[in-house]
């Protein structure tokens, strides 16, 4: 149920945010370390991968709910985003602050310096309690939900199999799972049989333990996952400025990126995950899925935060995405 509106229809997509972040961007002309710098501008955006996915889905008109955790002491920006976009908020409040990741943008060199924090250090008891709370929210929200999005890192202290546990619970209720994470959480949750995964090339290389320097190597690694013991139905490998590979057991496609003016690449992959889910809700074929997911990413690239233009503009962009078949 949506606490903002108990009469609202159930959310079709649930995204799980276990390690949210506020993205704090500061612009400086000529950053000097160890000196007093006079900054030009700052912007703070509610972030975290699962929140970015929900935000893009909401902009496309898909009803989304978020569950997971937020720090009680700076939850206001997240709550404002949820209210503005009519995202149902089912997050558990933890004591303290949500981590703040700082991006220092040097307007002279064009370089960005990221200062990222790991997230709250959870004790075994806090981690177990949080996971239980999220499972309870999930159980309630799963009535009527078609997709569960598990994306982003886990906070320190959260067991690495948390996504595997959540994926099994989603499957038990008949929902499909898309997984977008890395390292041990990816490896362990893969064993729970998510319907779709979206590693970027580095995450896929780490998963299979090989460098994957060529497109052929990436396709072979993706295909091996599709034929493995717990096979996802779709593997999407995003390649940044080189586009993305869309692989199923029957088809292999390369969706080429759109030539857009890039404002920020942060969250381009999250927008792609949102586009993948939106395409599945519309039962699109793989070519149209690849086009819509790429259009979601391209639309986000022109903006600083996880926001999309109106849906008809995204659909118009999707029709311009070139997709080639890989033999």
Ligand X SMILES: Nc1ncnc2c1ncn2[C@@H]1O[C@H](COP(=O)(O)OP(=O)(O)OP(=O)(O)O)[C@@H](O)[C@H]1O
Catalytically active residues are: 270
Q: Can you point out the beta strands (E) in the chain?
A: 13-17, 21-28, 39-47, 64-71, 88-94, 100-106, 112-115, 147-151, 176-180, 196-197, 234-238, 244-247, 252-255, 323-325
Give me the phi and psi of 152, to 5 degrees please. 105, 180
How many chain residues are in contact with Mg ion, going by CB under 5 A? Answer: 1
Stretch that binds ligand X, among 29-37, 112-120, 133-141, 237-245 (CB under 6 A): 237-245
Helices within 176-230 (DSSP H only): 183-190, 201-208, 215-226
List the helix and strand counts (H, then E) for the chain.
10, 14
Residue 245 near residue 222, CB atoms below 8 Å: yes
Question: Smallest Cα–Cα separation from 279: which of 289, 265, 294?
Answer: 289
Q: How far is the CB of 200 from Mg ion (least distance, A)?
A: 5
Closest listed residue to residue 114, CA positions, set 185, 183, 31, 46: 31
Choose one: 101-109, 115-123, 188-196, 268-276; the region binding Mg ion (CB under 5 A): 268-276
In this chain, which of 120, 194, 222, 269 binds ligand X, going by CB under 6 A? Answer: 269
Least distance (Å) between residue 221 CB and Mg ion: 17
Residue 197 interface partner, choices ligand X, Mg ion, none, CB cut-off 5-8 Å depending on type: none
Cβ 174 to ligand X, closest distance in Å?
28
Query: Among Mg ion, ligand X, none, what does residue 266 contact (CB within 5–8 Å per kind)?
Result: ligand X
Does 244 bind ligand X (CB under 6 A)? Our answer is: yes
- The answer to whether residue 19 forms part of the interface with ligand X (CB under 6 A) is no
Token couple for 32:
């000097």
How many beta carbons lie within 10 A of that of residue 83, not counting itself? 11
Closer to ligand X by CB, 26 or 321: give it: 321
257 binds ligand X (CB under 6 A): yes
Report the alpha-carbon distance of residue 72 to residue 315 in Å, rounded: 38
Nearer to ligand X, 222 or 243 (CB): 243
3-state secondary structure (DSSP) of residue 246: strand
- Residue 181: contacted member of Mg ion, ligand X, none (CB under 5 to 8 Å, by partner type): none
SS3 content of the chain, % helix, strand, coil (to 5): 35, 25, 40
The answer to whether 306 contacts Mg ion (rule: CB under 5 A) is no
DSSP 47-91: E-HHHHHHHHHHHTT--EEEEEEEEGGG-HHHHHHHHHHT-EEEE
Chosen from Mg ion, ligand X, none, partner binding at 265 (C-beta under 5 to 8 Å by type) = ligand X
State the number of binding residues for ligand X (CB under 6 A).
19
- Is there binding between residue 272 and ligand X (CB under 6 A)? yes
| 84: its two tokens | 């503005």
Of 14 and 197, nearer to Mg ion (C-beta) is: 197
Q: What value does the CA radius of gyration of the chain take, rounded to a whole number of Å?
A: 19
- Least distance between ligand X and beta carbon 258 (Å): 7
Should residue 48 be labelled a site residue for Mg ion when binding is judged by CB under 5 A?
no
Q: Residue 269 interacts with Mg ion (CB under 5 A)? A: yes
Q: Which does 257 bind (CB under 5 to 8 A by kind): ligand X, Mg ion, none?
A: ligand X
The contact set with ligand X (CB under 6 A) reads: 200, 238-241, 243-244, 257, 262, 265-270, 272, 294, 297, 301
* Interacting residues with Mg ion (CB under 5 A): 269
């Amino acid at each position: 149920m949506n606490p903002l509106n108990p009469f609202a229809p159930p959310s079709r997509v649930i995204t799980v945010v276990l390690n949210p972040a506020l993205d704090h961007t500061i612009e400086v002309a000529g950053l000097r370390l160890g000196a007093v710098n006079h900054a030009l501008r700052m912007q703070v955006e509610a972030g975290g991968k699962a929140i970015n996915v929900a935000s893009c889905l909401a902009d496309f008109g898909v009803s989304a709910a978020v569950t997971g955790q937020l720090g009680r002491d700076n939850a206001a920006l997240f709550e404002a985003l949820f209210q503005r976009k009519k995202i149902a908020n089912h997050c558990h409040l933890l004591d303290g602050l949500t981590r703040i990741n700082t991006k220092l943008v040097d307007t002279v060199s064009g370089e960005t310096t990221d200062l990222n924090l790991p997230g709250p250090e959870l004790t075994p008891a806090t981690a177990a309690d949080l996971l239980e709370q999220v499972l309870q929210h999930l159980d309630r929200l799963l009535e009527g939900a078609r997709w569960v999005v598990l994306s982003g890192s886990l906070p320190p202290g959260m067991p690495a199999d948390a996504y595997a546990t959540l994926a099994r619970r989603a499957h038990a209720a008949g929902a499909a799972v898309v997984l977008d994470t890395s390292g041990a959480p990816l490896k362990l949750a893969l064993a729970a049989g998510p319907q779709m995964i979206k590693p970027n090339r580095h995450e896929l290389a780490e998963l299979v333990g090989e460098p994957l320097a060529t497109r052929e190597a990436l396709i072979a690694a993706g295909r091996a996952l599709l034929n493995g013991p717990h096979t996802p139905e779709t593997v999407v490998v995003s390649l940044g400025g080189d586009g993305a590979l869309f692989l199923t057991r029957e088809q292999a496609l390369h969706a080429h990126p759109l030539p857009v003016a890039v404002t920020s690449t942060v969250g381009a992959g999250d927008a792609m995950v949102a586009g993948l889910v939106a395409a599945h809700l519309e039962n699109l074929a793989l070519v149209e899925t690849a086009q819509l997911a790429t259009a979601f990413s391209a639309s986000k690239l022109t903006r600083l935060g996880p926001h999309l233009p109106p849906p008809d503009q995204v659909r118009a962009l999707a029709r311009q995405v070139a997709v080639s078949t890989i033999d």
